[in-house]
Amino acid sequence: MKVDLFDFDLPEELIAQTPLEDRTSSRLMVLDKKDGSLTHDHFHGITKYLQEGDCLVLNDTRVLPARLFGEKSDTGASIEILLLKQESGDVWETLVKPAKRVKIGTVITFGDGRLRAECVGLKEHGGRLMEFQYEGIFYEILESLGDMPLPPYIKEKLDDRERYQTVYARERGSAAAPTAGLHFTQELLKEIESMGVHIAFITLHVGLGTFRPVSVEDLQEHEMHAEFYQVTEGTARLLNEVHESGGRIISVGTTSTRTLETIAAANDGKFAADSGWTNIFIYPGYEFKAIDGMITNFHLPKSTLIMLVSALAGRENVLHAYNTAVKERYRFFSFGDAMLIK
C-alpha cells in the first residue's frame, strides 16, 4: 500500500497555532464508520454521542518540559537538547542540535551550571545519550529550566504551558501531548460520568517518532519506534466488563488506541494488566480487537496517524472527512479541532 494514498491538500493557515480559551469550544466532526456520513458539532456536545455503559479510555501521560538550551562548557557554543526517554538512572536518550558539535565526552551546562550533561553515547539521526549531573530533584530542575517541546509546525509561543497538558495528566514521561485529550475539562468529564459512561486511564509515553514522516513509498516497509505503556489491573478489569456487557470502548487518541490494541492482540481480544514497549503500526487491513470508536484530532498528510484513523473508518471515508474539514475551515493538528469516529 502506497503512502501517497493518504495525502491531501492542507492550507497552512488551517494549522492551529494557539489553543482556544475554552477547551470544549473546539469543533467536533462526527464520522460514522459504517456509512461515512458526517455530522458537525462542537466538542461540548460530545455527550450526545455517548451512552450509558460506554467507556472512554484516556491516556494520563504528562509532557515533560523536555527542551533545554545550554552551552558547551569548553567553547560556550549554544546547544539545544530535547529529552526523548530515560534510558537508566540519569542517562537519557536525547536529540541534540547541532548534533555535530556534541561528541562523546562533550559537557553542556544549563542554568548557570545548575544542570550539567555529558555525552556518553551516540544514536542514529542526531541522537545522543546524555548523563545528567545536578543537586536536588531532577524533575524540579527540569520544570524550572525546560521549555515545552511544541511540534515544529507551531510557531507561536505558548503563554500557559498547562494548555499543552490534558487536565488529567499525571504520569511524567512524554515528549509530546496526547492531543485528543486536550478538549476535555474536569467539568465535562464529570458530566460524562454522570451519564453512566465509564472513564478508564492507561499510560503511554508519547515519543516524537509518532509524528515522524513516513520516508518510504510502501508503508509496509515503515518501522514504528517503540513507546512505553502501562495498563493497571483495575483498568483491564473494567474494560473486560464493558466488553462483556455490550458497551462500547472509545479510545481518546491514537496513543490510547495503540496501547489497547497491543494489549488485546497479546490476550486473544481480552484486556490484562501489563507494561512494556509497543511499536504496533496500524493501517488499513488491520482488524481491531479492542476499540469500537475513537476521539482524535486532524492529522498530518501521509502520517502514521491518518493511516491508523483510516484503518478504523476506511480510507475513502477519512479522506472525504478531511477534505470536508478543509472546506469547512476546521483547525488542524495539536491545538486544532476534534473528530469522533463512531
Domain that holds residue 75: 67-147
pLDDT of residue 220: 77
pLDDT of residue 247: 96
pLDDT of residue 29: 98
Residue 153 lies in a domain: no
Specify the number of domains making up the chain: 2
The residue out of 112, 147, 182 marking a domain boundary is 147
CA 300-228-279 angle, 5° bins: 55
The residue out of 88, 114, 147 marking a domain boundary is 147
Q: Give the whole-angstrom CA distance, residue 31 versus residue 28.
A: 10
53 and 110 share a domain? no
77 and 50 share a domain? no
58 and 175 share a domain? yes
pLDDT at 134 > cutoff 90: yes
Residue 287 lies in a domain: yes
Q: What is the pTM assigned to this prediction? A: 0.90
pLDDT at 151 > cutoff 90: no
49 and 104 share a domain? no
Confidence of residue 15 (pLDDT cuts 50, 70, 90): very high
Residue 154 lies in a domain: no
Residue 152 lies in a domain: no
Residue 175 lies in a domain: yes
39 and 133 share a domain? no
Q: What is the mean pLDDT of residues 208-221?
A: 72
pLDDT of residue 42: 98
pLDDT of residue 317: 98
57 and 104 share a domain? no
- Among 69-83, 201-215, 285-299, the minimum mean pLDDT is found in 201-215
Residue 173 lies in a domain: yes
CATH code: domain of residue 122: 2.40.10.240
53 and 106 share a domain? no
pLDDT at 212 > cutoff 70: no
305 and 166 share a domain? yes
Q: pLDDT, tens digit, for every residue of 289-318?
A: 999 999 999 999 999 999 999 999 999 999
312 and 229 share a domain? yes
279 and 214 share a domain? yes
267 and 282 share a domain? yes
pLDDT at 49 > cutoff 80: yes
- Among 74-83, 287-296, 314-323, the minimum mean pLDDT is found in 74-83
pLDDT of residue 321: 98
128 and 101 share a domain? yes
The residue out of 126, 147, 168 marking a domain boundary is 147
Q: What is the mean pLDDT of residues 46-50?
A: 98
- Among 53-67, 115-129, 277-291, the minimum mean pLDDT is found in 115-129
pLDDT at 89 > cutoff 70: yes
Residue 155 lies in a domain: no
CATH code: domain of residue 173: 3.40.1780.10
